[in-house]
Chain A
Amino acid sequence: MSSATVTSSPATPATAVQPRRRPLTAGRVVLYVFVTLTALAWLFPVVWALFNSFRDYDYTSANGYVSFGGFTFQNYTDAWQQGEFTRHFLNSLIITVPAVLLTLFLASCVAFVVARYSFRFNLVLLGLFTAANLLPQQTLLIPLYRAYREIPLPLWMSDSGQLLDSYWGLILVNVAFQTGFCTFVLSNYMKALPHEMFEAARVDGAGVPTQFFRITLPLCRPALAALATVQVTWIYNEFFWATVLMQSGDKFPITSSLSNLRGQFFTDYNLLSAGSVIIAIPVLVIFFLLQKQFVAGLTLGSTKG
């Protein structure tokens, strides 16, 4: 390695790489075969669930699963009704949307202050938020569970009369956990925004609300979109808190109602496949339509981009 290359910045984005057509050597063929087989193997479990979700139970029990035929749409309507999917999807919606909006708003607030106004506790603050996001949830379970049982809520907010077994409790615990990740990503993003803009705004007498709502948030739109995509997926997928903090079966969001479905679908694996596919649809839609945002949200923190 020459010394000149060492001094060059390692963080340059690889925009300079031009795809070059390489000659197809034996090594390249092996490489292609290997990655193709891996990709197919990776897709297989989903394809298998999809395939069997469209098959009649009587047909597969007579002919075995390694067969072809007996196609029907019945499993989907059955699974939807037996799993009470309308209700559980609604629950997921009630929990996910406010949680994501609140998380992004609170994280933007902290990130704005940390990025724009340097004061002594910036590092400690970021550490507190980020570490909170990394702790295993079970370490907080006992005191939180006990406190949730003690904290009363008016009946119009929660029909259980307490924070336990209420949408509010679940939304808030998700927000508290996810704010750390978003704060971290957003503060890095905001630090990279052109500084002159804010100085000009300050000279013009713009106060904090103008700087925050009119300048910072619009400029952060790409980062907010990426984070929103990731957060919707994560909170929709959240299993642990919903399982322990919800008590009545009709309040479970879709992901944690899975264990309830298990008994009902136990004998019929085609029904189970259909149920799994239905539950996967929202995140698969995100996956196919918003893949770029999702990847950006996951990797925004890990690379300086």
Chain B
Amino acid sequence: MTDLPTAPATPAEAAVPRRRPGVRVRVSGTDRVLLFLMVAIPLVMVVLWVWLPAIASVALSFARWTGVGGLDTIEWIGTENYKNVFTNYPPFAPALRHNVIWLVFLFVLPTLFGILLAVLLDRELRGTRFYQTAMFLPVVLSLALIGFIWQLMYSRDQGLLNAVLGTQIDWYGDSNVNLWAVLVAASWKHAGYIMLLYLAGLKGVDPTLREAAAVDGASQVRTFFSVVLPVMRPINIIVIVVTVIESLRAFDIVWVINKGTNGLELISTLVTSNVVGEASRIGFGSALATIMLVISLVFITIFLSTVMREGRR
């Protein structure tokens, strides 16, 4: 998961000059150089390590290249890689389907469950610390480790699940069930994460809003849907974007289990296999990466523009 900025506060403020008009702050020459470097060095880093490779991925997606020779061995072949991805690459359709299933599953079960728990735990329960701690525990574990921990449940011979159910299912290996088994394990973490974000948001809701609704005779359910939910708009958007990006980025847990094969194909694992595997197909892998890039940029743009609009209010 997990390294998503959950962050709308107020970037838009930056655009609004804070100083009173007329009062000009004089910045000395040395300070000017320092300020420039303070922005330039991190900026160069982020451009070199993130944005330039992203652009290069797009460019390479129109090329055929083994990656062995120099740049002059690149052969430009137009959209052929994309044609191949869609028509001539059997794992692509399942991978896309699995990513969509991942998204829908995460959204319908752990996301909504996390929100429900946040709402329940926000109701002045005794021992709320214990409940929060329990839900929150998986959030600090890596998804790779979570794959391992759940193996103790899912193993065919030694797993708890088969022992309890009396079945002989290889939960991680059987391509009919392994995606669902993995999704349950991933949900274990995701629900806690969403609960945490939502609880923080709920704590920021003005209590007088709810009191007023209660005085007006609204039920608690009604209050939530017509008063709290609209006020929580920024958090709702964050939660949706977090879920989308998480589903697109899903990789670690599947890679530790079987490197994304046999029922666990994802776009992220296809990209990786095409590069680090034996047959390094740079152009083809880049076409897959570009498809990911375009999908994620759509959501990142929605996210940033919403966040900045919220901040401007």
Contacts and interface: CB of A to CB of B under 8 A. Distances in A.
B304 A130 contact: yes
A181 B7 contact: yes
A146 B283 CA distance: 12
B231 interface: yes
A5 B228 CA distance: 12
Contacts of B304: 127, 130-131
B76 interface: no
Contact of A243 (B159, B255, B303): B255
A95 B155 CA distance: 33
Contact of A276 (B10, B38, B50, B145): B145
10 contacts: A52-B152, A123-B15, A136-B249, A138-B249, A141-B275, A142-B56, A184-B9, A239-B142, A276-B145, A302-B8
Given A128-B46, A139-B292, A173-B49, 6 more contacts: A1-B213, A141-B285, A244-B275, A259-B144, A276-B149, A302-B200
A128 B43 contact: yes
B207 A14 contact: yes
A244 B272 contact: yes
A194 B43 CA distance: 27
B13 A302 contact: no
B209 interface: yes
B278 interface: no
A112 B46 contact: no
> For the side of the interface on A, what is the size category?
35 or more
Interface string B153-165: 1010011100110
A207 B51 CA distance: 33
**8 smallest beta-carbon distances between A and B, as pairs:** A301-B7, A176-B49, A237-B142, A143-B56, A122-B14, A39-B134, A299-B200, A109-B38
Contacts of B121: 35
Grouping DSSP codes into helix (H, G, I), strand (E, B) and loop, the A interface class, with mixed when no group exceeds half, is helix
Nearest to B270: A138
A298 B132 CA distance: 15
Contacts of B286: 142
Contact of B131 (A39, A123, A177, A237): A39
Contacts of B47: 128
Given A5-B208, A172-B49, A240-B251, A179 B134 contact: no
B216 A1 contact: yes
B271 A294 contact: no
Interface centre among A10, A34, A202, by most chain B C-beta atoms within 10 angstroms, is A10
Given A46-B137, A65-B163, A145-B276, A255 B30 contact: no
B42 A187 contact: no
Interface stretch (A70-78, A153-161, A280-288): A280-288
B145 A280 contact: yes
B50 A234 contact: no
A135 B293 contact: yes
A26 interface: no
A114 interface: yes
Contacts of A114: 14, 39
Residue picked from A49, A240, A283, A303, most chain B C-beta under 10 Å: A303
B51 A128 contact: yes
Given A31-B120, A34-B120, A126-B14, A132 B144 contact: no
B206 A20 contact: no
Contact of B303 (A39, A134, A195): A134
Contact of A110 (B25, B38, B124, B296): B38
Contacts of B137: 42-43, 46, 284, 287
A96 interface: no
A276 B311 CA distance: 42
Contacts of A136: 245, 248-249, 268, 292-293, 296
Contacts of B54: 135, 139-140
Interface string B48-83: 111111101100100000010000000000000000
Interface in A189-227: 191, 195, 202, 207-209, 212
Given A10-B231, A141-B272, A294-B140, A302 B145 contact: no
Contact of B140 (A1, A177, A179, A233): A233
Contacts of A187: 11, 14
B45 A106 contact: yes
Contacts of B204: 10-14, 303-305
B235 interface: yes
Contacts of A236: 142
Contacts of A60: 158
A87 interface: no
Contacts of A191: 10, 13-14
Interface in A26-65: 31-32, 34-36, 38-40, 42-43, 45-46, 48-49, 52, 60, 64-65
Given A35-B131, A52-B152, A176-B45, A42 B142 contact: no
Contact of B39 (A125, A144, A188, A291): A125
Given A134-B296, A146-B67, A175 B5 contact: no
B11 A184 contact: yes
